[in-house]
Chain A
Amino acid sequence: MTSTVPRAAEATESLGEPQGSSKRSPRNETQRSRHWRENLAGYGFLTPWLIGFFGLTLIPMAYSLYLSFTSYNIFSPPEWIGFDNYARMFEDPVYVNSVKITAIYVLVGVPIKLAAALGVAMLLNYRDRGAGFFRSSFYAPSLIGASVSVAIVWRAMFSTDGPVDDTLSFFGLEIGGWVGNVALVLPMMILLAVWQFGAPMVIFLAGLKQVPRELYEAADMDGAGPIRKFKSITLPMLSAVVFFNLLLEIIGAFQVFSSAYIISNGSGGPAGMTNFYTVYLYKRAFTDGQMGYAAAMAWVLVIVVAILAFVLFRTSKMWVHYQGDSK
């Protein structure tokens, strides 16, 4: 590849490291004017995002960081209390419980959901004829928004003598309804998340559509089996999308809110088993008027997820393959 155009996208790989053009000493006028042109184009394309970031996102974010060091009940001005909010979390049994169930939700739910999404996406990608119906059917559960209907239908599915109970009883598992069983509410919430696997599935599908068919045809001619094709073509070609889905599902699962809020009618019950991180944060912020504490909770979450994301970005160099970055 005779590269006359500078490759840019590496920047995204080295997250957090500003791309210093100063590292490269300008060799001649053309080089310099190209840098200037690239900067101009870069900021030109980024203008809407920059306005949004500085105008709508950054100030509220910074403000919430400030609030996390204050006692703020929404009504009176914030009062600086240093790290008290952060210290309080460790002594708050409800907080500790919400961390625990959220961690389980992420660790168990995300892999199952992604595996289901990838498996179904590959099945759907097997052939195009007739796939439209199935694609829509699998996506349909993800269409339901945060309406009370979700609570009604999911509770009905998992109630005593509901379809789940009946099916399990048929196989000899007499465990009764899940809804009122403290130990089974979290699995029930995880299954709800898995049921709504449409978003990652569609993204996987879109990714699969980008894999050039010639690769498979070439592999067919080499006599490669389906497993080898999956490992040496599908996964590497799909790795950018796998990475995206993994990161976004982790972030999304840590912030799970609507489903839990609606199913528990805002209480986080039964026995705190749906009191996920953001549900608790929301209750503290809006029901209890403890905005400062809620902001501190939010920023602890940001830091934890940011570390996770950073590690993911770092390891992604080893397993994510970008066709556009081929060296």
Chain B
Amino acid sequence: MSTLREIRTPADPARGEQARPPRFTRKQINTAIWFAVLMASTAIVLYPLVWLLVSTFKDNSEFGQNQGLIPNDPTFDNYAKVFEGIAGVPMWRFFANSTVIAVAATFGTLLSSSMAAYAFARIRFRGVGIFFAAMIGTLLLPFHVVIIPQYIMFNNLGMIDTYWPLILPKFLATEAFFVFLMVQFMRGIPREMDEAARVDGAGHVRTFASIMLPLIQPALVTSAIFSFIWTWNDFLAPLMYITSPDKYPLPIALRLYNDQTSTSDYGATVTASFIALIPILLFFLVFQRFLVAGVATQGLKG
């Protein structure tokens, strides 16, 4: 592994500063502009979310009537109602269900997709072209037309009203999005990196685990973020496979305040969906930090 160490000399953090004469004013001006531009665009992008947050304090009857930001008559009723739970199922239960599904799905996606991506990007084997095309092909078919056949399959496996139809596919890399994403990142890694390891006698398993995975960390972090958030928000799959209300994940629970055939509580809906955002926002806050400290940013030779 000596070759590796030579290539991966850590970057000197001070180097950039030393290379240039100190031009503080220009840099400060640039940073100020940078900050101003980002602040302005952030304000625009966040306004609808602020509106949503404030409207959790609106009475149900204000929805559709008062489209302004400020509630006419601020109230905590929506929160009180949401924390009561739905039909005897406490709210935390839906959060727990969603967490279990999302954590398992994310783990499965990372594991199976990175393996498949490594095969597509770095191993030359018979049929790789056909399978790659097939993998891209699975992206193209609208999900809705395979709902019924998939339901029949999982029904025959006796998996209805369990989380397995939601989790098992993730361990089998059925989401081509992630496989393709990782393929693209792996192909961006200079081949010298793994070839050096191969010359040292490392097999594919070791090259994959100790060279490739660390190098595509930004892609893994990205995939983890998306996989977690998308699973958290997935509505259609749990709708099909989960029948017991105490096993519902959040996206289904959120809709239970609305019924077009009787009454809808928009206040509770908005409040519940806002609270549902908090865990994934935290997840994003934690994981986005790894986008900075990617190993790959350290001294790769181009």
Residues on A lying within 8 angstroms of B by beta carbon are 1, 3-12, 14-21, 38-39, 41-53, 55-57, 59-61, 63-64, 67, 74, 120, 123-124, 126-128, 130-132, 134-149, 152-157, 159, 161-163, 195, 199, 202-203, 205-207, 209-210, 212-215, 217, 220-221, 237, 240-241, 243-244, 248, 251, 255, 257-258, 265, 278, 281-282, 285-286, 291, 294-295, 298-299, 301-302, 305-306, 309, 322-326
Chain B residue numbers with a CB within 8 Å of A237 are 188
Query: Shortest distance in angstroms between B239's beta carbon and chain A's nearest beta carbon?
Result: 11
Q: Does B23 contact A (CB under 8 A)?
A: no
Query: Once the chains are docked, how many angstroms separate the CA of A244 from the CA of B285?
Result: 24
Query: Shortest distance in angstroms between B173's beta carbon and chain A's nearest beta carbon?
Result: 4
Query: Shortest distance in angstroms between B276's beta carbon and chain A's nearest beta carbon?
Result: 8
A19 touches B128 (CB 8 A): yes
Chain B residue numbers with a CB within 8 Å of A12 are 120-121, 128-129, 132, 183, 187
A41 touches B169 (CB 8 A): no
Closest to B190 in A: A323
Given contacts A152-B266, A255-B142, contact A45 B119 (CB under 8 A): yes
Contact of A217 among B19, B121, B225 (CB under 8 A): B19
Contact of A123 among B38, B148, B169 (CB under 8 A): B38
A57 touches B138 (CB 8 A): yes
Residues of A contacting B: mostly: helix
B34 touches A127 (CB 8 A): yes
Q: Does B160 contact A (CB under 8 A)?
A: no
Given contacts A12-B183, A301-B142, contact A18 B284 (CB under 8 A): no
- Given A56-B172, A322-B187; 4 other pairs, CB 8 A cutoff: A67-B145, A145-B276, A148-B266, A248-B180
Query: Once the chains are docked, how many angstroms separate the CA of A14 from the CA of B146?
Result: 28
Q: How large is the interface on B (under 10, 10 to 19, 20 to 34, 35 or more residues)?
A: 35 or more
A156 touches B67 (CB 8 A): yes
Query: Once the chains are docked, how many angstroms separate the CA of A170 from the CA of B115?
Result: 55
Chain B residue numbers with a CB within 8 Å of A205 are 218, 291
| Beta-carbon contacts under 8 Å, B116-134 to A | 116, 118-134
Query: Shortest distance in angstroms between A93's beta carbon and chain B's nearest beta carbon?
Result: 21
Residues on B lying within 8 angstroms of A by beta carbon are 11, 15-16, 19-20, 31, 34-35, 37-38, 41-42, 45-49, 51-52, 55, 63, 67, 111-112, 115-116, 118-146, 148-150, 153, 169, 171-174, 177, 179-181, 183-192, 195, 198-199, 203-205, 208, 218-219, 221-222, 225-226, 229, 232-235, 251, 254-255, 258, 260, 266, 269-270, 273-274, 276-277, 280-281, 284-285, 288-289, 291-292, 294, 296-297, 299-302
Chain B residue numbers with a CB within 8 Å of A140 are 45-46, 49, 277, 281
Chain B residue numbers with a CB within 8 Å of A139 are 284, 288
A324 touches B38 (CB 8 A): no
- The 9 lowest CB-CB distance pairs between A and B, nearest first, are A52-B172, A42-B125, A145-B233, A8-B124, A206-B218, A60-B149, A45-B119, A60-B146, A49-B116
Closest to B232 in A: A145
A278 touches B142 (CB 8 A): yes
Closest to B278 in A: A143
Given contacts A126-B34, A206-B221, contact A19 B149 (CB under 8 A): no
Given contacts A64-B145, A153-B51, A217-B16, contact A14 B129 (CB under 8 A): yes
B188 touches A11 (CB 8 A): no
Contact of A38 among B124, B233, B277, B281 (CB under 8 A): B124
Given contacts A244-B180, A281-B145, contact A144 B130 (CB under 8 A): no
Given contacts A148-B254, A251-B140, contact A324 B190 (CB under 8 A): yes
Chain B residue numbers with a CB within 8 Å of A162 are 67
Chain B residue numbers with a CB within 8 Å of A64 are 141, 145-146, 149
Query: Once the chains are docked, how many angstroms separate the CA of A210 from the CA of B298?
Result: 9
Chain A residue numbers with a CB within 8 Å of B301 are 212, 214
Closest to A244 in B: B184
Chain B residue numbers with a CB within 8 Å of A9 are 120-122, 186-187
Contact of B251 among A130, A134, A147, A161 (CB under 8 A): A147
Query: Shortest distance in angstroms between B20's beta carbon and chain A's nearest beta carbon?
Result: 8
B45 touches A138 (CB 8 A): yes
A19 touches B120 (CB 8 A): no
Chain A residue numbers with a CB within 8 Å of B132 are 11-12, 15
B16 touches A149 (CB 8 A): no
